Structure 1
């Protein structure tokens, strides 16, 4: 028996988005550190927090991606274990479900790895293709927009405590946010499938943690778009645009005929980013919602920023009822 038995391999496909003719698939190949999100004791909590950031990537490994239209595509991971497939494809619209999700499978190339591989080397991923019955899309921040993290706290100490020392079971959604997002998802007719995109500056290491939180708090399913946790030794190319700009711009370019509602908070840079988005994509933003935070100086700054602004409807949200009333008055929800 080996005292240094290596962990089995896994692939974590991220929920992404695309179109009927274009694939955009992303995920990461890692050693399986056996992170159990259902464990709530303090030792497991600390151990899981350590495992999320002490990742063992499977670098430069050949992969095989299988699509439901019988297309087989060869891919590979990069120096940080990520795979990204960004290419044209055909006949995808015939394989999506009622909400617009396309399922695919990604595997390690046969015999490319001799180590144990979980789940028979077949890992299911999903890509969202918005259906025709959509009126608009929603792009939402996560931290302090729907999940209290404490980004306005001094030295961000609350972010550290909440992220590393609380299980996703104990993380509560901000009041009324899940209900509001479902109403937006269903639209004015209550029969729509308006896509929700969750864009956060949290690192990909927290993907499963945040996915668990969204599901556990009954948010509509949507692509979760996080950023690479870069270190001084990172060998992947750095993006030209900051993460949120890159993701929001890419979503708007992917769906040129769809307008969007932007949701964030008053805590950090969301307001300034969203104003830049309005300038870059005129007539594409239907409304901006910014959740109020407990920080008087930042609240005053954001209120002043929008004092005479009339390019698009903007609401600084003090409570859930305000958002519901505003959305109904603008014809977004039933």
Structure 2
């Protein structure tokens, strides 16, 4: 007897992007809808949801369209993994901004021959950030062990695995005081600066909605979340190739050549090396570097040694968020 499985509906996910008044820069992915419920309780359900996040069915090499209004439409195409990147010069984007600088748009499939049911009447929402004219600086922050407890420095990464698979996003705990500090940085010294916050991580795009929910539930300022593809984990990196996180940060600096930035990370992985190299590539544009302390004496000693002879930029190893807040106030950031 034949068994016919009902095919999943199609969807397009738009990752929050960033750009300028004339540059539209947005990523996303076209996938079958696996009906992942981030609110589910129970170890088995959490395990199933994690499997669904990584066992994706991509809609490959299909044309898509982004619409802002009747006058502005941008076409693109997904790649062999279902990802798309729209990086186009588009005039008049600033007229679509809200007071925080967010530009809303809709994205849809162009191919009418997909012969599959499409969610949301083929109209999927997305947003892109254009920093406000009132912004005095931007903030670029790591996620893992910087604002979210992950166990990224634990032996064999077992804590990362357990936390991701068996803990709901709404139950994950942020580092104490982090959301309040980021809101103060977002508001700035004048209280109305709307300084943009960019979140970067080595995590795969498969965890985008999980991390987005964590940031929302814990009331962090809204900002683009920049991750990497699963294929980059498998790809053998050349010796001269930079980490994806560093490439993302470099692109932000290049997108906003008149803006300076505060860089926030942790002492567990390579944030110190990346941030020092960024500060050398973009002289006088890094206002401060904050690195969270981690419970690994060897890594902490290594980072301390890196900054011993590097005095050109304010640097603070952060044990408690209140230390970073005091430093930011002293330097006139908040």
Q: TM-score, normalised by structure 1?
A: 0.95
Q: Secondary structure at the match of 2:247?
A: helix
**CA distance in 1 between partners of 2:65 and 2:77 (Å):** 8
The structural deviation recorded for 1:241 is 3.3
Give the conservation status (yes or no) of the 8 Å contact 2:20–2:130. Answer: yes
What corresponds to 2:327 in structure 1? 326
CA offsets, 1:290-319, max 9 Å, x none?
Answer: 000011111122122222321100000010
Matching of residues 306-325 of structure 1 within 5 Å: 306-325=307-326
What corresponds to 2:280 in structure 1? 279
CA offsets, 1:78-123, max 9 Å, x none?
Answer: 1000111111011111110011000111101151321111110000
**CA distance in 2 between partners of 1:201 and 1:266 (Å):** 15
**CA distance in 2 between partners of 1:69 and 1:97 (Å):** 18
**CA distance in 2 between partners of 1:241 and 1:70 (Å):** 39
Do structure 1's residue 48 and structure 2's residue 49 form an aligned pair?
yes
| Runs of 5+ consecutive residues of structure 2 not aligned to the other structure | none
Give the conservation status (yes or no) of the 8 Å contact 1:68–1:103. Answer: no
Matching of residues 88-107 of structure 1 within 5 Å: 88-107=89-108
The structural deviation recorded for 1:69 is 6.5
Q: Secondary structure at the match of 1:75?
A: strand
Number of aligned residue pairs = 329
Do structure 1's residue 202 and structure 2's residue 214 form an aligned pair?
no
What corresponds to 1:30 in structure 2? 31
**CA distance in 2 between partners of 1:208 and 1:192 (Å):** 27
The structural deviation recorded for 1:3 is 2.8
Give the conservation status (yes or no) of the 8 Å contact 2:22–2:91. Answer: yes
**CA distance in 2 between partners of 1:168 and 1:118 (Å):** 24
Q: Secondary structure at the match of 2:215?
A: helix
The structural deviation recorded for 1:280 is 0.5
What corresponds to 1:80 in structure 2? 81
C-alpha RMSD of matched pairs (Å) = 1.6
The structural deviation recorded for 1:232 is 9.1
What corresponds to 2:294 in structure 1? 293
Give the conservation status (yes or no) of the 8 Å contact 2:145–2:152. Answer: yes
| Runs of 5+ consecutive residues of structure 1 not aligned to the other structure | none
Q: Secondary structure at the match of 2:257?
A: coil
Do structure 1's residue 14 and structure 2's residue 45 form an aligned pair?
no
Matching of residues 147-166 of structure 1 within 5 Å: 147-166=148-167
Give the conservation status (yes or no) of the 8 Å contact 1:137–1:261. Answer: yes
**Superposed structure 1 runs of 4+ greater than 6 Å apart:** 231-234
**CA distance in 2 between partners of 1:250 and 1:112 (Å):** 36
What corresponds to 1:214 in structure 2? 215
Give the conservation status (yes or no) of the 8 Å contact 1:25–1:86. Answer: yes
**CA distance in 1 between partners of 2:182 and 2:32 (Å):** 34
**CA distance in 1 between partners of 2:113 and 2:65 (Å):** 11
The structural deviation recorded for 1:76 is 1.2
CA offsets, 1:114-162, max 9 Å, x none?
Answer: 1111110000110000010000000000000000100111111111111
**CA distance in 2 between partners of 1:21 and 1:125 (Å):** 17
Give the conservation status (yes or no) of the 8 Å contact 1:64–1:75. Answer: yes
CA gap 1:2/1:126 in 2 versus in 1, 3 angstroms: farther
